Amino acid sequence: MNVGFAGTPEFARVALEKLMTAGYPVHLVLTQPDRPAGRGMKLQASPVKQLALAHGLPVLQPLSLKKGEEAEQALAALKTAVHGQPLDVLIVAAYGLILPQAVLDAPRLGCLNIHGSLLPRWRGAAPIQRCIEAGDNETGVCIMQMEAGLDTGPVRLWRTLPIEHTDTASRLHDKLAVLGGDLLVEALDALQSGILPLVPQPAVGVTYAEKITKAEGVINWGRSAVELQRTLRAFDPFPGANTLFNAEPVKCFDAETVAVAGLMGRPGEVLSVDATGIEVQCGQGVLRIRTLQKAGGKRLPAQQVAQALGLVAGTQLGFEPSN
């Protein structure tokens, strides 16, 4: 089975590594162009590109696959990657570019996508964050035969994964990346043997995982502690759930709900500060936050950051609920 690979971030890098370890020859790698990153904003290669170059794999980085000279070169490469012949299959994992029909049709067996949810739930850009935010009990990985629609293609193989109460987006990402790589190899083994079925997605249960925006990270203390605990986990590490204290943003991580009877303060009011963290009144219930991060600083124990900021019991975080 002669394969190509299209992906960009760490989630995709794990799958590419699993693919090579399993012995599948990778004839072409597509990944996003190098982007400025870090404090110096220097151009940085994607995790997929770094791994591909380390193993001497040919890499293309078109800005688009729809039009332009780079898109034409990429399409030509897909059709001639194996000694002048097309790839058998193109594996796609968190690539970041839309694949036009000509690209989907270029490999002999089409394109397989590694998607980090149990389709049709959480089609779209941010399935890992949205399943935590929604309070789902489980998620998983689907190997999907790609078609023109957004994550609408038939599923060829899937596995479920429980979501732990302490899972952040980062931790769940790492679990799903490993599961996705293992499932990909299993799918290719089955595809070679001709025993990989096509299962159409059901018409019911469709949800969309919209892309995460920085604006969503602003904490609304009028929401319940249960909801906010999920939000903090879903937005860890990006964009981080943040609140205001003395007009300065403070990011909040690593939280748990606290059982209380009735309201002990206004939403957003700090009820206590000690070695276990800071306790904040929510619209319903109380949230204990164990880790805080000042702008430009590191994540530190909440009590340490609170002392540095002068944040004490009785102070108010964020905007007034009416705002």
Residues 208-248 pLDDT 10s: 999 999 999 999 999 999 999 999 999 999 999 999 998 89
| pLDDT, tens only, 139-178 | 999 999 999 999 999 999 999 999 999 999 999 999 999 9
| pLDDT, tens only, 29-63 | 999 999 988 777 889 999 999 999 999 999 999 99
The fold of the 214-309 domain, in CATH, is Methionyl-tRNA Fmet Formyltransferase; Chain A, domain 2 (3.10.25)
Would you say 232 and 292 are in contact if contact means Cβ atoms under 8 Å apart?
Answer: no
What are the sequence ranges of the domains in the chain? 3-209, 214-309
pLDDT band at 322 (very low <50, low <70, confident <90, very high): very low
| pLDDT, tens only, 242-266 | 999 988 999 999 999 998 776 788 9
Mean pLDDT of 169-192: 97
**CA-derived radius of gyration, the chain:** 23
Q: What is the pLDDT of residue 319?
A: 60
Mean pLDDT of 316-320: 77
With CA atoms as reference, report the closest residue to 160 among 118, 98, 119: 118
**Element holding 81 (H helix, E strand):** none
Would you say 259 and 225 are in contact if contact means Cβ atoms under 8 Å apart?
Answer: no
SS3 64: coil
CATH C-level class of 3-209: alpha beta
Topology match between the domains 3-209 and 214-309: no
Q: What is the pLDDT of residue 80?
A: 96
- Better-predicted residue by pLDDT, 303 or 42: 303
Is pTM, for the whole model, over 0.75?
yes
Q: What is the pLDDT of residue 150?
A: 92
Is the pLDDT reported for residue 323 higher than 70?
no
Percentage of the chain beyond pLDDT 90 is 91
Query: CA 265, CA 244: separation in Å to the nearest integer?
Result: 17
Q: What is the pLDDT of residue 233?
A: 98
Q: What is the pLDDT of residue 37?
A: 81
Is the pLDDT reported for residue 73 higher than 60?
yes
| Extended beta strands in the chain, E state | 3-7, 26-30, 35-37, 42-44, 59-60, 89-93, 111-115, 123-124, 138-145, 155-162, 208-209, 241-245, 248-258, 270-274, 277-281, 286-294, 300-301
Would you say 76 and 87 are in contact if contact means Cβ atoms under 8 Å apart?
Answer: no
Q: What is the pLDDT of residue 39?
A: 74
Q: What is the pLDDT of residue 259?
A: 82
